[in-house]
Amino acid sequence: MMQRRSFLALSGVSMLAFGAPALAQSAPNMARASSPGGMLTVEVSTDNDGRPMYAVSRLGQPVVRPSRMGFLLTDQPQIERGLRMSAGQPVTVDDTWEQPWGERQFIRNHYNEWRTTFTETGGLGRRVDVVFRLYDDGVGFRYEFPEQAALTTVRIGTELTQFNLAENGEALWCPAWEWNREEHLYRRTSIDAVGSAQTPMTVRGDSGLHVSIHEAALIDYAGMNLRREGGTDFRCALTPGLTNAAVERTAPFNTPWRTLQISDTAAGLLDSSLILNLNEPNKLGDVSWFTPMKYVGVWWEMHLELKSWGQGPKHGATTENTIRHIDFAAEHGLGGVLVEGWNKGWDGQWFGNGSDFSFTESYPDFDIERVTSYARSKGVQLIGHHETGGNAFHYDQQLEPAMALYERLGVHSVKTGYVADAGGARVAGPDGRAVMAWHESQPMAQHHLRVAEVGARHKVAINAHEPFKDTGLRRTYPNIISREGQRGMEYNAWGNPSNPPEHEANLAFTRMLAGPMDFTPGIFGMKTRSAEGVATTWAKQLALYVVIYSPIQMAADLLDNYEANPEPFQFIKDVPVDWSDSRTLDAALGDYVVVARKERTSDVWALGAITDEHPRVLSAPLGFLDAGRRYRAEIYRDGPDASYTDRRESIVIEQREVTSADVLTLALAPGGGQAIRFVPLGRSRRR
Ligand code: NOJ
Ligand code: CA
């Protein structure tokens, strides 16, 4: 790691005048620091009442106007005024780290770290530090509570952090506090019409500047939502806890990072590694027991109501049906098979309840020993399933034996699920009995980390549905491989309503900025239980394997539909899931995105382009390919008559030879897309 000092600009000599009562100062204290390349500047100050504020600018243009920081505590006076500030010297860090799996292999972590300290001039004399990490493509800051006699247990009722955006513009956001947790349609409104939003919330200001607000390294804390206070001003709104404190911690501790990804292009947001970089390095060491893979599952047939999770004539998770899926995966080179409904507890009312689930006992028609040993003999991984009905309390009690069972059977990943309405999860209350909780409350943060840690001990990787939001913890715990956390493909089975054609283009700039998503693409059977069916073209279904990053990607459709359509299925078989590099070639917020990724273990590249409900003609310069090398481009594009309302199956599959000098024209149908695999031909002819 290379470290060097960088300069700090101070304005107002009073800044270091320790001992001067903040309230008596005529001019506010103020200090400033910039990112390594000088793109972003943070200014921290206290006002005449000793209230701490921060502001962010990019190349001199305000991005966040002065915004307050601080806390309301439930059993002590607030920490938000009467504070004296001192600022340290920023320290530059520039290192590069390697992901065991990921959208890129090496990630540069280049920032200036800047510590500011706020001490009460009267009262209890308490202290809180705010540490900023300034990158050229964004800022993270967190509160650090040092050990101190006057503040041991910290009970946070309200975190006062504001994000006062400097300009109006367009916002892409999902409502917070609504019944369906994280699974809502995106809203696209002016910034000053947002209500309460989940993060990531992404905006494009009138000047064209893109900003996404989220958080990183959310450990043992409540999830942050954003409440608009007026105009373009937002404030942190923590998810409620079990008491009137949203968070209860013992000092010393740090809050999660509050993050602002800032770019003059939408593509710049997508290529930022800010969230990952703000997380701690890998604590698990070698996780090579988990292999990125594609998988099929005893799954879509349940959502179409052709099969059932519970017992009876339609039971899906039988030994026989699972073996059929294992044979299919082995034949087509897919790594895994997910089986839902294998365990006891599905027959009654499990939604929002979950207390009947056993995570170690299978139904009589599912021979778990036979199925897992058959899968092993075929070189296929079984993917376990733990639906909890939101009852984390019940699941916690079986966590250890459940993970130990999977370890013994060689099952190295599990899909967990927390199906319950908002506020309907269950955790242990103060007396050890189950109480209701929000999915993103502090006890659920603790629960999800516990699942990851117990899983890691048993070499089991976690893919949570109805999860806790992603804040980049996969860097520290690389067995947190993927999650849901938005409307996935399943909504296209049920309807009411289906995902609209712009949905995936919205996901790319919001949910996907948080991390990998188990969206489960690859549906060819477009008629479902929903009136709208699947509102995309086939080519878009294929493109999603490249656009949506996840180290596990489901081939979600019925096996029959793949067997009946081998030509488009070939792309699903061929597309990589682990990458050495990823580049967004073109993007517009909520409208379209074109991504190219290079396979981790070869020189194969893949390109995915998707659009919303509008047709588009985009151009894709192939400059990412090796210069002087010829490639076979295997192209899966929308047919001329394709559309998400009609002729969704219209696809043209063709091959042509290309080089890095070529520029491809991508014609995307309404609700359409394009998927391409570039395979190097012959020997390299480097210039
Ligand atoms: C909701 C999950 O998102 C889905 O994938 C799963 O099949 C059901 N819950 C049942 O666990
Ligand atoms: Ca779900």
Instruction: Answer yes or no: 167 catalytic.
Output: no
Whether 465 is in the pocket of ligand 1, judged by its Cβ within 6 Å, is: yes
User: Taking Cα atoms as reference points, which of 644, 500, 583 lies closest to residue 104?
Assistant: 583
Q: Which residue, by CA, sits nearest to atom 7 of ligand 1?
A: 299
User: Taking Cα atoms as reference points, which of 500, 477, 648 lies closest to residue 568?
Assistant: 648
Amino acid at 499: N
Q: What is the pLDDT of residues 349-401, one digit of tens each?
A: 999 999 999 999 999 999 999 999 999 999 999 999 999 999 999 999 999 99
Give the 3-state secondary structure of residue 418.
coil
Looking at residue 188, its pLDDT comes to 98
pLDDT at 4 over 50: no
How many A from CA of 465 to the centre of ligand 2? Answer: 6
- In ligand 1, the atom with minimum distance to the C-alpha of 385 is 11
Whether 419 is in the pocket of ligand 1, judged by its Cβ within 6 Å, is: yes
Q: What is the pLDDT of residues 55-91, one digit of tens each?
A: 999 999 999 999 999 999 999 999 999 999 999 999 9
Looking at residue 28, its pLDDT comes to 53
Amino acid at 26: S
The dihedral formed by the CA atoms of 663, 664, 669 and 670, expressed in degrees to the nearest 10: -30
Q: How far apart are CA 98 and CA 91, in angstroms?
A: 22
Cα 357 to Cα 301, 340, 484: the distances in Å are 21, 12, 21
Contact (CB, 8 A) for 143 and 79: no
Cα 96 to Cα 2, 122, 260, 471, 603: the distances in Å are 10, 44, 21, 20, 22
Q: Which residue, by CA, sits nearest to atom 10 of ligand 1?
A: 387
Residue 15 DSSP one-character state:
G
Q: Residue 321 is encoded by which pair of tokens?
A: 């049906």
How many A from CA of 232 to the centre of ligand 1? Answer: 37
Q: Does the CA dihedral 158-159-163-164 come out positive or negative?
A: positive
CATH topology of domain 296-485: TIM Barrel (3.20.20)
pLDDT at 608 over 90: yes
CB under 8 Å to 670, separation ≥6 — which residues? 501, 611, 613, 614, 615, 643, 644, 645
Q: How far apart are CA 175 and CA 182, in angstroms?
A: 8
Residue in 182, 308, 340 to alter for ligand 1 test, most ligand atoms within 8 A of Cβ: 340
Q: How far apart are CA 57 and CA 459, in angstroms?
A: 44
The CATH code of the domain at 10-277 is 2.70.98.10
Q: How far apart are CA 64 and CA 67, in angstroms?
A: 7
Q: How far apart are CA 300 and CA 3, in angstroms?
A: 52
Q: Which residue, by CA, sits nearest to atom 3 of ligand 1?
A: 465
Query: In CATH, which of 3.40.605.10, 2.30.40.10, 3.20.20.70, 3.40.50.300 is domain 533-687?
Result: 3.20.20.70
Q: What is the pLDDT of residues 91-130, one digit of tens each?
A: 999 999 999 999 999 999 999 999 999 999 999 999 999 9
How many A from CA of 340 to the centre of ligand 2? Answer: 13
Looking at residue 7, its pLDDT comes to 30
Average pLDDT score over residue span 513-532: 97
pLDDT at 342 over 60: yes
Residues less than 5 Å from ion ligand 2, measured at CB: 465
Q: Which residue intervals of 436-502 are DSSP H helices?
A: 442-457, 490-494
Which ligand is closest in space to the CA of residue 182?
2
How many A from CA of 417 to the centre of ligand 1? Answer: 6
If pLDDT is split at 50, 70 and 90, which confidence band does 682 have?
A: confident
pLDDT at 27 over 60: no
Which ligand is closest in space to the CA of residue 463?
1
Q: What is the pLDDT of residues 231-241, one digit of tens each?
A: 999 999 999 99
Cα 455 to Cα 131, 280, 405, 460: the distances in Å are 32, 19, 11, 5
Q: What is the percent of the chain with per-residue pLDDT over 90, rounded to a whole number?
A: 95
* Cα radius of gyration (the chain): 26
Q: How far apart are CA 185 and CA 679, in angstroms?
A: 37
Whether 484 is in the pocket of ligand 1, judged by its Cβ within 6 Å, is: yes
The active-site residue out of 120, 387, 490, 532 is 490
Q: How far apart are CA 545 and CA 607, in angstroms?
A: 9
Residue 320 backbone phi and psi in degrees, to 5:
-65, -45
Q: How far apart are CA 108 and CA 589, in angstroms?
A: 25
Residue in 387, 484, 518 to alter for ligand 1 test, most ligand atoms within 8 A of Cβ: 387
For the chain, the average pLDDT equals 95
In the block, tokens 């017992």 appear at 311
User: Taking Cα atoms as reference points, which of 536, 538, 466, 550 lies closest to residue 504?
Assistant: 536
Give the 3-state secondary structure of residue 327.
helix
How many A from CA of 380 to the centre of ligand 2? Answer: 25
Which ligand is closest in space to the CA of residue 389?
1
Q: Residue 270 is encoded by which pair of tokens?
A: 């997508």
pLDDT at 287 over 50: yes
pLDDT at 21 over 70: no
Whether 490 is in the pocket of ligand 1, judged by its Cβ within 6 Å, is: yes
Looking at residue 229, its pLDDT comes to 98
Residue 343 DSSP one-character state:
B
Q: Does the CA dihedral 577-583-585-590 come out positive or negative?
A: positive
Looking at residue 25, its pLDDT comes to 30
The dihedral formed by the CA atoms of 242, 245, 246 and 251, expressed in degrees to the nearest 10: -120
Q: Residue 541 is encoded by which pair of tokens?
A: 């279904």
Q: What is the pLDDT of residues 51-61, one digit of tens each?
A: 999 999 999 99
- In ligand 1, the atom with minimum distance to the C-alpha of 387 is 11
Strand segments, DSSP code E, in 572-621 are: 579-588, 592-599, 605-611, 616-621
pLDDT at 282 over 70: yes
Average pLDDT score over residue span 621-632: 98
Residue in 465, 491, 523 to alter for ligand 1 test, most ligand atoms within 8 A of Cβ: 465
Residue 398: HSE in the Cβ half-sphere, 13 Å Cα cutoff: 19
pLDDT at 3 over 60: no
User: Taking Cα atoms as reference points, which of 420, 426, 552 lies closest to residue 480?
Assistant: 552
Which ligand is closest in space to the CA of residue 383?
1
Looking at residue 16, its pLDDT comes to 28
Amino acid at 347: D
Give the 3-state secondary structure of residue 85.
strand
How many A from CA of 505 to the centre of ligand 1? Answer: 23
CA angle 452, 412, 558 (to 5 degrees): 110
Looking at residue 522, its pLDDT comes to 98
Residue 278 DSSP one-character state:
T
Q: How far apart are CA 545 and CA 41, in angstroms?
A: 37
- In ligand 1, the atom with minimum distance to the C-alpha of 465 is 3
Whether 387 is in the pocket of ligand 1, judged by its Cβ within 6 Å, is: yes
Which ligand is closest in space to the CA of residue 340?
1
Residue intervals in the chain for CATH 2.70.98.10: 10-277
Alpha carbon 199 to chain centroid, angstroms: 10
Q: Which residue, by CA, sits nearest to atom 11 of ligand 1?
A: 387
Strand segments, DSSP code E, in 69-184 are: 71-73, 83-87, 91-98, 106-120, 127-135, 138-145, 153-159, 162-165, 169-173
Residue intervals in the chain for CATH 3.20.20.70: 296-485, 533-687
- In ligand 1, the atom with minimum distance to the C-alpha of 309 is 10
Looking at residue 181, its pLDDT comes to 94
Cα 482 to Cα 406, 468, 470, 517, 554: the distances in Å are 18, 11, 9, 6, 12
